[in-house]
Amino acid sequence: MRIAFLTAPEGVEQVELTEPWKAAENAGHQPVLVSTRSGEIQAFDHLDKADTFPVDEVVGETAAGSFDALVLPGGVANPDFLRMDDKAVAFVRDFFTGGRPVAAICHAPWTLVEADVVRDRELTSWPSLRTDIRNAGGTWVDEQVVVCERGDNKLVTSRKPDDLEAFCATFLEVFAKEAG
């Protein structure tokens, strides 16, 4: 399974990128780092710069249809930058219209709000997004991991880095069922 990991050029929470990436690789999937610019992305450990990672593909030069699933890592700045990029928002929306599974953690649902795909869905996130999700027509819940099935699409969400183990196990299970 080819899985897009979409990030902005900076601001992604490193552990929310690296742990799901490793989990996908260990399960035999092909993770692909997609960003809004070529080159490298700058990850963060909360507010401190962490490692850089090479971009594999660029939004606008690749199609959502070339992937089987999407993972949206968090970080406060990452989804804020993504939701200001029309091509990134369209890329995310295409996964929903194409019926492919999506997983998002922490602040990543901000990008889902901008893509207008949370309406009538139950999801979780970092608590500060609660009002944004509700205002966008979603139902916010405070749970470690939430799987929402609507139509052909499945959405997996988690709240924070402490939820990564459950998040990774759940999105891998959901993605495997979709591929099967």
Q: Mind telling me the catalytic residues?
A: 106
Are the C-beta atoms of residues 29 and 175 closer than 8 Å to each other? yes
In the block, residue with structure tokens 């990774």: 168
User: Residue 72 pairs with which residues in a beta bridge?
Assistant: 104
- Distance separating the N- and C-terminal Cα atoms of the chain: 10
Closest of 113, 92, 96 to residue 154, by C-alpha = 96
Quick count: other Cβ atoms within 10 Å of Cβ 169?
13
